[in-house]
Amino acid sequence: MTCPPATTCTGPREARPRVAVLMGPSAGSQYVFSRLASEVDLVAVVKQQRPRREVLRAVFRRGKKLRRGYWLDRLLLGAYTKLKLKRQALACSEYREVRAAAGFQPECAVQRVESINDPSVIDLLQKTQPELVVVLGTSILKEPVLAAAPCFVNLHAGITPMYRGAHGQFWAVLNRDFGNVGVTLHFVDKGIDTGAIVKQGRFEFDPAIDNLLTLLAKSSVAGTKLILDWIHDNRANFRASPTLTPPGPSQLHYSPGLSDYRQFEQVARDLLTNTSWKAA
């Protein structure tokens, strides 16, 4: 299943790193993947699509640990996103850019799995021998998968270690921590976004247009530049890349519900009525 060279590549194929991509079904993952495809030699692509019943079961299980009614709160935010947030997000150029990549068709075959830890994924990595595996929005990788290739990096939508888990930028805004709205590229280990940090990028929160979807889109656009720059700068030895040790506590966050999002909207309204913010 080795992929042929991308037609948009500049420079000889042998000068490009051999890269595998493990990705989830999100529009942001598709966007980053589409940009990577023209810059690296894709030797394997695996797309994880978890069954809807499994996703719902995970939400119910998490709800038991977090708070009463969490599962319903999540479902309500999903409906609110479809009815309102998608339309609002069209005002954001990054969101429109990410949406435009939805129809991207790679030149290589894409292996589809329900679990990213399926034995077929291990077999594929061992067979294709990538120098680097880029992880985009999948479930947690287990040790047998991590042992199948020499280097894994994850593009995380949030600034770690403060905002590990889901929707890191959302929680940064909700905490009014506007200096930590951004994206992190880190090595993958057994934990949840706990790997050594190799690069981080931050971007501005715009209360006039930003919502749950635009923040994810901005992360995808900023994160794409982050990872392409890092690949270019560390082509000789990815594992030798210097790492960062940012200060601050480490905290794991989960996907928000509608009640959380209402608080997010209040933060945006407060900023819009703050004359000093407008002047800046």
Q: Identify whether 181 is part of a domain.
A: yes
In the chain, helix, strand, coil percent, each to 5? 45, 15, 40
Quick one: average pLDDT of 38-53?
A: 90
133-163 pLDDT per residue, tens? 999 999 999 999 999 999 999 999 999 999 9
Helices (H), the chain: 27-36, 52-66, 70-80, 86-89, 93-100, 119-128, 143-146, 168-174, 212-233, 258-272, 275-279
Find the domain containing 184 and state its range.
Answer: 13-279
- What pLDDT digit, counting tens, does each position of 67-110 carry? 788 888 999 999 999 999 999 999 999 999 999 999 888 877 89
Q: What mean pLDDT do residues 267-275 have?
A: 89
Within-domain flag for 140: yes
Evaluate if pTM is beyond 0.85. Answer: yes
Assign residue 184 the CATH number of its domain.
3.40.50.12230
Which residues are within 8 A (CB) of 232 and not within 5 positions of it... i.e. 6 or more apart? none
Distance CA 145, CA 10 (A): 31
Contact 193, 186 (CB under 8 A): yes
Cα-only R_g, the chain: 19
pLDDT at 5 over 50: no
**Residue 1 resides in a domain:** no
CA distance 42 to 123: 16
Q: How far apart are the first and last CA of the chain?
A: 52
CA neighbor of 70 nearest in space, from 81, 82, 58, 80: 58
> What is the model's pLDDT at position 272?
94
Whether residue 8 is contained in a domain is answered as: no
Evaluate whether residue 6 is within a structural domain. Answer: no
Name residue 132's amino acid. Answer: L
pLDDT of residue 170: 97
pLDDT digits (tens, 9 = 90+) for 103-134: 888 877 899 999 999 999 999 999 999 999 99
Please, are residues 161 and 248 in contact by the beta-carbon 8 Å criterion?
yes
Does residue 129 contact residue 19 with C-beta atoms inside 8 Å? Answer: no
Domain count along the chain: 1
Question: pLDDT averaged over the chain?
Answer: 89
Averaged over 164-178, what is the pLDDT? 96
pLDDT in tens, 200-253: 999 999 999 999 999 999 999 999 999 999 999 998 899 888 888 877 789 999
Which residues neighbour 240 within 8 Å (Cβ) at sequence distance 6 or greater? 234
**What is the pLDDT, as a whole number, of residue 275?**
56
In a domain, 56, yes or no: yes
pLDDT digits (tens, 9 = 90+) for 12-32: 455 789 999 999 999 999 999
